[in-house]
Amino acid sequence: ILGGTSALPGTHPWMAAIYIGHSDFCAGTLVSSCWIVSAAHCFFRNPLKSQIRVVLGQQKFNVSGPNSKTFEVEDYIFPKQFSVFNPTLHDIVLVKLKKQDGRCARRGQFIRPICLPDKNTTFPDNYCCTISGWGHVNGYSSLQEAGVRLIPQDTCRKPDVYGNHVTADMFCAGLNGCADSCQGDSGGPLACAQNGVSFLYGIISWGEGCGRSGKPGVYTRVVNYVDWIGSVIRRKPS
């Protein structure tokens, strides 16, 4: 996260740190006790499940603390439309945690799922939402957070912004090179709050550089996938 501030422990209890192999890293968001939502492009090389670790309740990058819990991965699932030839389209994946002693994440002060929005939810243009992640600031760090505004779709689809590279399954947020998501934040949440309840509205996906004026961050539009998420989680419950 560029232009953010350090998050207080427990303020983003749905954040998941996903370590893939020896050198790849992505974030994710806990949506139920056993399921994480992340970005498909983090998984498109089909990493071995045994090489993936998911850490919940983490504050500092790569540091496990008293509030963190590490999980192995049972499975990861792409939407049918996802293609490795175009990994920024349909950039969403569901990651299932392996149970430990019959359960996955236990809810507490530092670990708690975020709410999924209803599929008809739309937050208005210019609404202020929150991105969070361990990605580039000046290197990897303590969890960072920043406020970003939702950008009207027609603005983001202007030829001098991203044109038709931004599809209806994406939206843009952040303006004028202030706060932005960046490499290492991918897969993590853009959360929008309403009446004090946070909803997973976007997944950090791509953008031209980070914090460049006129080149906002691009996010997967989660509401377009909530039926799919629901069907997978119900089919393979817990």
Q: Which residues are catalytic?
A: 41, 91, 186
- Polymer length of the chain: 238
Q: Which residues contact 221 (CB under 8 A, 6 or more apart)?
A: 168, 169, 170, 171, 201, 202
Q: Does 201 bind ligand 4AZ (CB under 6 A)?
A: no
Q: Does 181 interact with ligand 4AZ (rule: CB under 6 A)?
A: yes
Q: Which one of residues 32, 132, 186, 220 is an interface residue with ligand 4AZ (CB under 6 A)?
A: 186
180 binds ligand 4AZ (CB under 6 A): yes
Both tokens of 220, joined, read: 């997967």
Strands 144-151, 128-133: pairing is antiparallel
Give the 3-state secondary structure of 144-185. EEEEEEEECHHHHCCCCCCHHHCCCCEEEECCCCCCECCCCC
For ligand 4AZ, the closer of residues 178 and 193 by Cβ is 178
Question: Is residue 183 near ligand 4AZ by the rule CB under 6 A?
Answer: yes
Rule CB under 6 A: is residue 190 a binding residue for ligand 4AZ? no
Note whether 206 binds ligand 4AZ by CB under 6 A: yes
Q: Closest distance between ligand 4AZ and the C-beta of residue 177, in Å? A: 10
What residue ranges bind ligand 4AZ (CB under 6 A)?
Answer: 180-183, 185-186, 204, 206-207, 210, 217
